Structure 1
Amino acid sequence: MTSTPDPAATPATPTASAWNLPNALTVLRILMIPLFLWLLMRDQGESDAHRWWAAVVFGVASLTDWLDGDLARRRQLVTTFGKVADPIADKALMGSALIGLSLLGSLPWWVTVVILVRELGITGLRFWVIRRGVIAASKGGKLKTMLQAIGLLLLILPLTGILHLLGLWVMYAAVVVTVVTGVDYIVQALRLRRSTADR
């Protein structure tokens, strides 16, 4: 989810220490995942109170994802650790929400499978080109992240009727954007590998 400045390849800042606030927020996001899952799955997801608390934890964790990227860019604290740990934290948070909701029957499994396959594939692509640069987050990628976060949050909350249906339709829209942006990332990765190989 973390976006980077517009050059397609942005190297890590050589003087940035791995011990900084953006990376601390990334680690915090990872540590919040077990708590989120415990709250979500408590009493087989039947406890409204725990679902509300799970939504709060998920919302705060999602906020740290935006905040760590913004701080890293503004304070020039982009590090190799951050480039590796941040996407892992993002995918772990979203993946835990997707799988948890599908286990509870709140989200169709096909949605979870499509999104996870795309996310894991793109994470692999990022690691494939990480020594050559960072693939910049596109507007479509940001839209995908926003739709996923909103849709998952609506489904985590103990909502019924039209509000629950709204969460499902937001997730269906997220699937479409997820697939389209996945193809775009593949094209970017191939171009980046090709351009650096020609140097």
Structure 2
Amino acid sequence: MSLSRTKLTDPKALRGYAHPLRMALLGLLRAHGPMTATQAAEQLGESVPNCSFHLRQLAKYGLAERSPGADARERPWRATALATSWDDDSDDPQVRAATDELNAAQLALYTRRAEEFLLRRADESAAWRAVTGFSDQSLYVTADELAELTRRLDEVLSEYDDRILDPSRRPADARRVSLIQLAVLSPSPTDGARPATPAPTTEAPEAPGGAR
């Protein structure tokens, strides 16, 4: 079973999503299900009017909607899909600029999430400390090979989609984990960089290889 996805293609929608609070709100709806602006504000430490405004903006771009059958006094919001995607290969300069802006906002969100985790990691059990953390791996691949590798990784991770869609399928000791994938090109000598010996791979002790 695969996750439902919303694909953003319009520059306005791409820029509309590139906002830290909107990303946080959408993540909240996806993780916890429908909730009101008041409930979201309590979770995120934001004001209710601010959350209400940004939830309406998410709805404007097709990322959130009112939950049907809810109390008419304050109707909850829900995510329209469990994942958002966009392409990075457009030749349209407006789309490219918008995706760059969105990617930068997403990277900032990932960085903040990692920093928050590091602050509380010492309080986790040894079992969880042993399997969480950061690592990187240098590869020499073609663009096609990297695309195939990403597809295979996505295929493996999709085996756990049913636990997102159906909470009853989660083991009793399961916790929500974010696997963040960063595919970053190293500088090339043809780009003006001086040839150098390969940088050592850094890995956290006992951490799983490669972050996604």
Same fold (TM over 0.5): no
Give the structure with the larger strand fraction: 2
Structure with max Cα Rg = 2
Give the structure with the larger helix fraction: 1
TM-score range, shorter chain: 0.3 to 0.5
Normalised by the size of structure 2, how large is the TM-score?
A: 0.35
